[in-house]
Amino acid sequence: MAIPENLKYTKEHEWVRVEGQVGTMGITGHAQEALGDITFVELPKRGAAVTQFKAMATIESVKAASDIYAPVSGTVMEANAQLEAEPGLVNQSPYEKGWIARIAMSDPNEVKNLMDAASYAAYLKESH
């Protein structure tokens, strides 16, 4: 699966697309493949404060339940309500339709703590 160049990545396999002060985030193609068929996504609440690298949501699959960690700190502006009815969108389109939340970033400099696509690809190779 291709790793989009325009995103930043965490070691826990989340991605974030930064547009101004807003970060749209989800889980990577690698993560959704490892989880298998996604059956449920517990979305963060609008207005919730999230902290970089701390749990902010939960995702369940036929194999396991896993925490989803915030790639950046800030306030949840919106969660992808479509996932409540169609959690499988995370499998079908992890970088587009399967996004989890949009976060109003409190510290845009935190993006420096994340990996770019090339670093994430190297990280995946190392960890296997």
Residue 127 has pLDDT above 90, yes or no: no
Mean pLDDT for 95-118 is: 97
> What CATH number corresponds to the domain at position 100?
2.40.50.100
Residues 6+ apart with CB under 8 A from 51: 70, 73
Residue 128 has pLDDT above 80, yes or no: no
H/E segment holding residue 119: helix 117-126
List the one residue out of 123, 12, 111 whose CA is nearest residue 67: 12
126 in a structural domain = no
Residue 126 to residue 65: CA distance in whole angstroms: 24
Residue-number span of the structural domain to which 74 is assigned? 26-109
What tokens appear for 30 in the block? Answer: 């690698």
Q: What is the pLDDT of residues 13-40, one digit of tens each?
A: 999 999 999 999 999 999 999 999 999 9
92 in a structural domain = yes
List the one residue out of 9, 50, 40 whose CA is nearest residue 26: 9
Q: Catalogue the E-assigned strands of 14-85.
A: 14-19, 22-27, 38-42, 49-50, 55-61, 65-69, 74-79
pLDDT of residue 44: 97
Residue 82: C-alpha distances to residues 43, 86, 99, 119, 124 (Å): 10, 6, 10, 31, 29
124 in a structural domain = no
Q: What is the pLDDT of residues 47-99, one digit of tens each?
A: 999 999 999 999 999 999 999 999 999 999 999 999 999 999 999 999 999 99
6 in a structural domain = no
H/E segment holding residue 82: helix 82-85
Residue 43 has pLDDT above 80, yes or no: yes
What tokens appear for 107 in the block? Answer: 């510290």
- The number of domains in the chain is 1
